Structure 1
Amino acid sequence: MSTHTAAIEWSRAAHPTDATTYSRNHVATLAGGQTVTMSSSPTFLGDPECADPEQMVISALASCHMLFFLAIADLKGFPVARYADTPSGELGKTEKGQALTRITLSPRVTFVDKAPDAATLTAIHNSAHKRCFIANSLTAEVTLDLG
């Protein structure tokens, strides 16, 4: 199908607030040359000014869902004017250890002309979820808050 690449680079440095450990900060370089400064979550001695891997996973899921939603809505005659989401993820314990166990997407959509009825809107979201490559790659429960 297709191959997707990125690069991660970390070099040892002192932790800015804990002299007994090292900095978790690193840089992810994406295929287009964009860089993202990353760290672990602040819960795990990371830098709160940086993106953490869990945020990147929930962002990737939200982005993938959105892109499929936009395509499906457009094909069904409901072009989207604006789409915003505030995804959140919960860490929990699984048989394999800690993992993202639940991710909630909270998309808010404004349509160009007419909006679909509630049942059609839900069907478009369900279809987007079913097709989303990231959702199909995760074991976390994914829920939609269409509130």
Structure 2
Amino acid sequence: MQHEFSLRAEWNTDAARPHPSRGFTRDVVIQAEGPGELPGSAAKPFHGDASRWNPEELLLAALVECHILSYLYVAGQAELEVEKVTVRGELTLEAGAQGGQVTSATLYPEVWVADAMQLPRARELHEEAHRQCFIARSVNFPITLEIPNQHQMPELPQFSSRLGAPIAVLKPRRAKKPSQVSGNDEARLAALRAERAAEQQRRDGVVSQTAQAEQPAQEAAEPTEAAKTAQQTNAPAEQTSFYEQVGGEPTFRKLAAEFYKQVDADPEFKAMYPEEDLGPAEDRLRMFLIQYWGGPTDYSQQRGHPRLRARHMPYHIDSQARDTWLKFMRNAMDTLELSPLHDETMWDYFQRAARAMQNQV
């Protein structure tokens, strides 16, 4: 199947710098039906106007946009729930006495997905997207993909003890726990995201209020107490994973138990579960969360790759079911009494995961 594209470009003389004088203007107007006019010029090194698009930038823009669109296509084929794609591009032009040409380009793509366990697969798809990009297949210079290391889960702050007490680089906000979940109100979700972004900018470091007593023998014998102290003060002590910082296995066992207590008390919502006994479902949720937040990998060893969206696809999950799930999880989290920073990190994940699992309007 053949497709044709057309546009028109126009250059006009400038009374102040008429052609063919040495100082002629490089300004061009590109016109296409639909998008309208695009102001163009030569690149600044070639006496153009830096405030207007030059041909090299337009070529690079075509490569970058084509990669994003191709990526969204292949991600859809792979049934990945993509939340965001960004691509930074660099292009090299070599000019000499005999003229010039583009010699190479480099693309730096990044992707965010709803299910963090799918991130490795999501990153692999950049190669397939590059192979399918129409523009990349049409140019005669090499294009390199450089995929940066990414962290799907928000990074927790680093800590220092140089003043004797743990010092956090970031300041945890005061927890604002919603009184209700209104998943139908997309504006509310957008407001929550904006609030988190604003709070992130205001974090400027804070000194922990509690200094641990130097009792290495007792701490070695009581790791659970150390984890509890880390959770209450935002200081990870000797732990490194989120799982350990919030108290380890007991925390997630309580979270899953409190969640399924509410499920069991709601006959309509419970009807979505294929098993009358909710015990196995509670075990699966507990093992998955423990693995996701950095604990033992029993879930994958017993059940393989999580494939969360695929596992939930057979069930009718609409916005009401999503909101009920979030309400129960919010109530369960409130029983944990997490630090504001840990609470925010976990709640942000649950909101994204719940939206990703919805498969009905």
Q: Same fold (TM over 0.5)?
A: yes
Normalising by structure 2, we get a TM-score of 0.37
Structure 2 counterpart of 1:75, which letter? Q
Shift in Å, 1:4: 0.7
1:82 equivalent in structure 2 = 84
Q: Which moved more, 1:127-136 or 1:48-57?
A: 127-136
2:4 equivalent in structure 1 = 3
Shift in Å, 1:115: 5.4
- Structure ID, larger Rg: 2
1:32 equivalent in structure 2 = 34
Structure 1 counterpart of 2:61, which letter? S
Normalising by structure 1, we get a TM-score of 0.86
1:47 equivalent in structure 2 = 49
**Inter-partner Cα distance in structure 1 for 2:85 and 2:130:** 15
**Inter-partner Cα distance in structure 1 for 2:62 and 2:70:** 12
1:109 equivalent in structure 2 = 111
Q: Which moved more, 1:84-93 or 1:61-70?
A: 84-93
Structure 2 counterpart of 1:5, which letter? S
Q: Which has the higher contact order (CA 8 A, sep 6+)?
A: 1
SS of equivalent to 1:58: helix
**Inter-partner Cα distance in structure 2 for 1:24 and 1:7:** 16
Shift in Å, 1:93: 5.8
As a proportion of its length, which structure holds more helix?
Answer: 2
Structure 1 counterpart of 2:111, which letter? V
**Inter-partner Cα distance in structure 2 for 1:46 and 1:132:** 30
1:77-120 C-alpha deviation (Å, 9 max, x unpaired): 212211112211001269x84111111111121113345343x3
**Inter-partner Cα distance in structure 2 for 1:85 and 1:115:** 22
1:134 equivalent in structure 2 = 135
Structure 2 counterpart of 1:72, which letter? V
Shift in Å, 1:56: 0.3
In structure 2, the CA distance between the partners of 1:115 and 1:25, relative to structure 1 (3 Å rule), is farther
Shift in Å, 1:121: 3.5
Moved over 4 A (4+): none
SS of equivalent to 1:12: coil
1:51-79 C-alpha deviation (Å, 9 max, x unpaired): 10000001001111110101111211212
1:14-49 C-alpha deviation (Å, 9 max, x unpaired): 45xxx8411101111123142110100001000000
Shift in Å, 1:144: 1.1
Identity %: 27
**Inter-partner Cα distance in structure 2 for 1:116 and 1:143:** 24
Contact 1:78 1:115 in 2 (8 A): no
SS of equivalent to 1:87: strand
- Specify which of 56, 59, 63 is matched with residue 57 of structure 1: 59
Contact 2:83 2:113 in 1 (8 A): yes
**Inter-partner Cα distance in structure 1 for 2:106 and 2:49:** 24
Contact 2:89 2:106 in 1 (8 A): yes
**Inter-partner Cα distance in structure 1 for 2:134 and 2:99:** 24
**Inter-partner Cα distance in structure 2 for 1:4 and 1:79:** 32
